[in-house]
Amino acid sequence: MSSIGKLMKQAARMQQQVEQIQQQLANRTVEATSGGGAVKVVAKCDGTIASVKIDPQALNPGDAQLLEDMVLTAVNQALTQAKEISAAEMGKATAGFSLPGLT
């Protein structure tokens, strides 16, 4: 088989693996908390937020800025974890795939 044929087969196999991993990541979640657990965020590993939970005791109108900061912190932590997992899983699918002349 020609090297281009091998390359095409390898690319098709990698595409199938990537699609399978993307489906798995859409169902996998990570959780992050902030403010001692007052805010909990669940993110999917496809980069979306699944849920945000706020402890009712954290809902003091005078502390709105603090609550906003806690939500932002928890969301960013959850998304960072999700991105790390996604990158690691995608790296497994593309490991060993090299194009001649591009290494």
pLDDT, average across residues 36-65: 89
Domain contains 90: yes
pLDDT, average across residues 26-45: 91
What's phi and psi for 29, nearest 5 deg?
A: -125, 160
Whole-prediction pTM value?
A: 0.67
Q: Smallest Cα–Cα separation from 73: which of 33, 45, 36? A: 33
Confidence of residue 103 (pLDDT cuts 50, 70, 90): very low
Report the C-alpha gap between 32 and 96 in whole angstroms.
33
Domain contains 21: yes
Q: Which domain holds residue 16?
A: 3-94
> Based on the structure, what is the number of domains in the chain?
1
Is pLDDT above 50 for 37? yes
CATH of the domain at 39: 3.30.1310.10
C-beta atoms surrounding 31 within 10 Å: 15
| Cβ-contact 18, 93 below 8 angstroms | yes
Domain contains 102: no
pLDDT of residue 100: 53
pLDDT, average across residues 12-29: 86
Domain contains 103: no
Q: In terms of pLDDT, which residue wins out, 31 or 6?
A: 31
Residue 10 tokens read as: 């390898």
